[in-house]
Amino acid sequence: MRAGFWHALRDGMDRRRDKPMDRPPDMVHAPGDVPPAGDTAALALQQLAIQSIYFLLPGVVATAFGEGALAATRFLCLSLLVLGLAGLLQVARRGPLGSGYALPSIPSPVFVAVYALAAQQVALPQASALVMVAGLAGMAVALLLPRLSRLVPTEVAGVVVFLIGVSLLPRALASARPEGLDPAQQGLSAAVALGGLALMILVALSRTRFARFGALIGAGVALAVAAALGLTPPGAQGTLAGLPWLELPRPQWPDVSGFDWALLPAALAAACASIASWLGDLVAFQRAADGSWKRPDEPPLRRGILAGFGAVTLAGLLGGMAPGTSSACVGLAIASRSLARMVTVAGALLLLALSCSPRIVGLFVLVPDPVKAALLGYVCCFMMAAGCQLVTARMLDARRTFVAGLGLCAGLGVVIAPALAEQILPRALQSPVTAGALVAFTLNLLTLPFVTRQARFELPLDARLPARVEDHAVALGGAWGTRRGTMDRMAHALLELGELLADRGERSLMAEARFAEDRVTLTLRHGGRPLPAPTPRPEAADLEGPQEAREAFALWLATREASGFSRRALPEGGEIRLEFLD
């Protein structure tokens, strides 16, 4: 276990293991770009407008613990301080924490149920201790698990991203026609929300330089119209007048003396759902930023999870609300094709400044409901579409269909029948994201033993070798549900090695292919003397050199697309093992 810990820590710190990203042709601002100051400020404000929708969650949590207005405001300011630090942790490019991706944070909707459950039995400082323990446990899991992508594959991450989009829909509809207004005002509110959404879409679809600011422009126009129609929250001016302009956040240290172990399972369940949610956002960002993306690149994902749980631990220590990555902001960045880290850095600095000004924070909390509805509707589209892309990133065999399908059913069931969910589910699972994530996550774990498939076959090394190799690759890929590219790489290696052995005079080759969830392992046994190692520096002159040089060159051709290669001598020949990530 200790060796595995240090191995995972070493891998997380070694950023040279990260796959280089190919810039997509339609990318406006890639992760490493430094946009002009005006673009950075506008994109950061647009990002902040999305984040502000979730600023009401700390207020809901503080109210559940019976906190007054001033205490609730201080809790919100501490939460904003944590959000800013979480964003800076996530974009970090050195050390074991941080994916290096532009992933802003919001108060975690997944942890709301945990706070609500804790409010029935303990005070807020004890709940902060619970969150801190959950964060530390999550960091340990992210360090010790050898392969996160196997535990939470793309279809599970896609389920979570899709359900995050779905979970925003009820809030958007409720904000479009808020309660407490007469029918005429509700109609005006819905019209402003639809008009704001339509303007966002039209600007985003335009071929102008303002396209990536569609959400900000639409929200600004909708805000002006809502204010002119008197749709601002009642008592907004009085509420703002009672808040100070400047006040440094005051940490509320956790109370570990009153720790309630009975609440720990709910916190750990939220942590598991957070892993799936964060992986979904990380993979969605990675897929959008890399034009040659084929499968998740694991080291940045692991560091991103570590940064996420590090921020959760920090939230528990300081007394703020647990943060989570903002799927809505990721969707907005993907929609605007602007993925620059500098935008998230600027947004994080704005959050740190806001945490010191309760009165300015109040302005974001008091955004009119129809403007919130338009923003939520805009980002829902991209979150649900990104979730569908992740679910279908790999061929859906029967097992993956049940994992993704039942996870979606569980999450949608909570949205469609909330009263029934309250009766049969514990409070910690009454969120569509939590319920769907845990069902998909659990089914994936339980069905992993059924994933491993094996096939043994003999290949005659004659003139029909290319056709036989192609037939085996197509048949195995269809039966196992692997990506076509994976089987193409395996077929290429098999053909090169078969031709090499045929030149030696061998008549047949024994092959064994094994599939285990995210990789295909090809084991080949042959007669004669063992094959040489692949040449480290292939040169055209090797093709006209001695036999050993030609064979080393052929081995390089056969193994250059494999993720792993090993060979060993046998009593009657040799064995070659190749590994291909799916």
DSSP per-residue string spanning 327-347: HHHHHHHHHHTB--HHHHHHH
Q: What is the dihedral of CA 345, 349, 350, 353, to 10 degrees?
A: 170
What is the tens place of the pLDDT at every residue in 216-262?
Answer: 788 788 888 887 887 776 666 666 666 778 788 888 888 877 777 76
Tokens (6 digits) for 421:
């969910």
- What pLDDT score was predicted for residue 69? 61
- What pLDDT score was predicted for residue 74? 82
Select from 77, 75, 80, 26 the least CA-distant residue to 51.
80
pLDDT of 364 strictly over 80:
no
Across the range 448-476, mean pLDDT stands at 84
Start-to-end CA span in the chain (Å)? 27
How far is 128 from 130, CA to CA, in rounded Å? Answer: 5
447 confidence band (pLDDT: 50, 70, 90):
confident
User: Which range is most confident: 63-77, 158-172, 233-247, 320-334?
Assistant: 320-334
109 vs 529 pLDDT, higher one: 529
- What pLDDT score was predicted for residue 5? 45
Across the range 18-27, mean pLDDT stands at 76
Tokens (6 digits) for 426:
């514990």
- What pLDDT score was predicted for residue 313? 92
Q: Is the dihedral of CA 8, 106, 193, 60 positive or negative?
A: positive
Across the range 76-101, mean pLDDT stands at 86
Across the range 90-117, mean pLDDT stands at 80
- What pLDDT score was predicted for residue 1? 39
pLDDT of 11 strictly over 70:
no
Of 19-33, 470-484, 491-505, minimum mean pLDDT range: 19-33
What letter would DSSP give residue 233? P
The position carrying tokens 């998230």 is 344
Residue at 82: amino acid letter? V
Question: From the centroid of its chain, how far is CA 117?
Answer: 26
Residue at 503: amino acid letter? D
> Using H for helix, E for strand and C for coil, what is the string for 513-524?
EEECCCEEEEEE
Q: What is the pTM of this model?
A: 0.61
State the helix-helix crossing angle for 484-504 and 547-559, rounded to 10 degrees: 170
User: Which range is most confident: 81-90, 133-142, 508-517?
Assistant: 81-90
Across the range 424-436, mean pLDDT stands at 75
- In angstroms, the Cα distances linking 408 to 85, 325, 440, 494, 508 are 32, 21, 8, 39, 48
Tokens (6 digits) for 32:
């490493």
CATH architecture for the domain at 452-581: 2-Layer Sandwich (3.30)
How far is 488 from 70, CA to CA, in rounded Å? Answer: 63
How far is 111 from 321, CA to CA, in rounded Å? Answer: 8
Select from 81, 22, 89, 80 the least CA-distant residue to 55.
80
Tokens (6 digits) for 242:
């009672």
- What pLDDT score was predicted for residue 391? 82
* CA atoms lying within 13 Å on the CB side of residue 494: 33
pLDDT of 493 strictly over 70:
yes
Question: Taking the domains of the chain in order of start, what are their residue ranges?
Answer: 2-11+28-234+255-448, 452-581
User: Which range is most confident: 186-190, 241-245, 448-452?
Assistant: 186-190
Tokens (6 digits) for 133:
């323990």
Across the range 484-511, mean pLDDT stands at 86
Instruction: Give the three-class secondary structure for 576.
Output: strand
How far is 216 from 204, CA to CA, in rounded Å? Answer: 10
What is the tens place of the pLDDT at every residue in 373-404?
Answer: 887 787 677 778 777 877 877 777 788 888 88
Select from 573, 12, 77, 581 the least CA-distant residue to 315.
77
pLDDT of 472 strictly over 70:
yes
CB 404 within 8 Å of CB 440: yes
What is the tens place of the pLDDT at every residue in 107-165?
Answer: 887 777 677 677 777 888 888 888 898 899 888 877 776 566 566 677 887 787 788 77
Q: How many CB atoms lie within 10 A of CB 235?
A: 9
Of 7-16, 219-228, 354-363, 432-441, minimum mean pLDDT range: 7-16
Computed over every residue of the chain, the mean pLDDT equals: 79
Q: How many CB atoms lie within 10 A of CB 247?
A: 16
85 confidence band (pLDDT: 50, 70, 90):
very high
Residue 517 falls in which region: left (phi positive, over 0), alpha (psi -120 to 50) or beta = left
- What pLDDT score was predicted for residue 406? 92
- What pLDDT score was predicted for residue 287? 81
- What pLDDT score was predicted for residue 3? 46
Residue 581 phi, psi dihedral angles, 5° rounding = -70, 140
What letter would DSSP give residue 29? B
State the helix-helix crossing angle for 327-336 and 37-52, rounded to 10 degrees: 140
Of 82-96, 209-223, 413-427, minimum mean pLDDT range: 209-223
DSSP per-residue string spanning 459-514: EE-STTHHHHHHHHHHHHHHHHT--HHHHHHHHHHHHHHHHHHHHHT--EEEEEEE
CA angle 16, 20, 26 (to 5 degrees): 155
180 confidence band (pLDDT: 50, 70, 90):
confident
Biggest CA-to-CA distance, the chain: 91
